[in-house]
Each structure stands twice: as structure tokens, then as C-alpha cells.
Amino acid sequence: MDVSTQGPTRTEFRAFVHDVEPQLLDALVATYGPADGREATVDALSWAWEHWDRLDGVANKVGYLYRVGQSATRRFAARGLPLADSHASSSRLPDVEPALVPALADLSDQQRTIVLLVHAFDWSQTDVAALLEITPSTVREHLRRALERLRHDLEVNDAH
């Protein structure tokens, strides 16, 4: 059998999942909400097991699997807004001001994902840029605009 087409051993795959799952889960939950984000994470990791050879040589494995997870969500029926899931307690989402949920829903998907990853999950802007395959300056600009809109929508006058 050609070694290049063999899948990982269970031990190798467990180590891989241990390394990538936390960031992948954060990113997909931030984008699609707790229920769909968790399901997309499972689908992306299942895909990784089945297509291990396609990940070989991919520098940004979390970013690649994020895209796989995004594709997986296209099969799901819409379940409502991210953060609106009452079962969010099992995810790592923090408690939020109730008015924030509709304000976040009014942001673009990319802006909402960036805000949640940076402010709810404590990701660096550089890590978000790598995940989304955009420049850090683009992340900063999306974040600035999103926070400005959230402050306006929530009538927050003093951001200090």
C-alpha cells in the first residue's frame, strides 16, 4: 500500500484533534452558533479523518477545516441566530447582555465572527486573520466598524 494515501493512526488523529479542535470549535460556534457550530466541527473533523491525505502539506489546517465546516452547514436547516440557542451553556460562550444578541445579528457574518472570536473567545487579530485568510488590517477594520455599529445600536456613548 502506498504510504502517502494511508490515513493517520488513531493516536496521531487524537493528537491532531487535540491541537485543532478548540480553535475550530470556537470559530464555527462564533460563526454559526452553538448547535450548528458544534455539528460543523464534528463534520469537519470527520472529513479530516476520511481525507487525511488532502490535509498533508496544508499550512493552515484550522483555516482549511473551517472552510470544510462552513460547507457542512449548508446542509443544515437554519436554527436561528448565533448565541440565541438556549443550550449554549455547554459551549464556551460567555453570558451576554440580551440586547447584544439582536445587535450582533445585524452585523455581517464576517464582522460577527471577528467580534466574537476577538472579544468572546480572546483570539488575537492575527489568529483571526489566519483563520479567515484575510490580512490583519482587514480584521482590524471589520472589528472597528462592527464595534462602532454595536455601540450605536446599543446606545453606548462612552466606550472606555
pLDDT digits (tens, 9 = 90+) for 40-99: 999 999 999 999 999 988 999 999 999 999 999 887 765 555 554 444 444 454 566 778
* Residue the block writes with cell 460563526: 31
Distance CA 28, CA 32 (A): 6
Residue type at 98 in one-letter notation: P
Q: What is the gyration radius of the CA atoms in the chain, in angstroms?
A: 17
Distance CA 156, CA 3 (A): 59
On whether the 3-153 domain is CATH 1.20.140.160, my answer is yes
What pLDDT score was predicted for residue 6? 72
61-73 vs 125-132: helix crossing angle, rounded to 10: 60
DSSP state of 117: I
pLDDT at 29 over 50: yes
Residue type at 100 in one-letter notation: L
Q: Are 94 and 76 in contact (CB under 8 A)?
A: no
Q: What is the mean pLDDT of residues 112-119?
A: 95
pLDDT at 1 over 50: no
| Degrees to nearest 5, angle at CA 73 with 69 and 79 | 135
E strands present in the chain: none
In the chain, domain spans = 3-153
pLDDT at 127 over 90: yes
Nearest in space to 62 (alpha carbons), one of 9, 117, 111: 117
What pLDDT score was predicted for residue 82? 53
Q: pLDDT digit string (tens) for 6-23?
A: 778 999 999 999 999 999
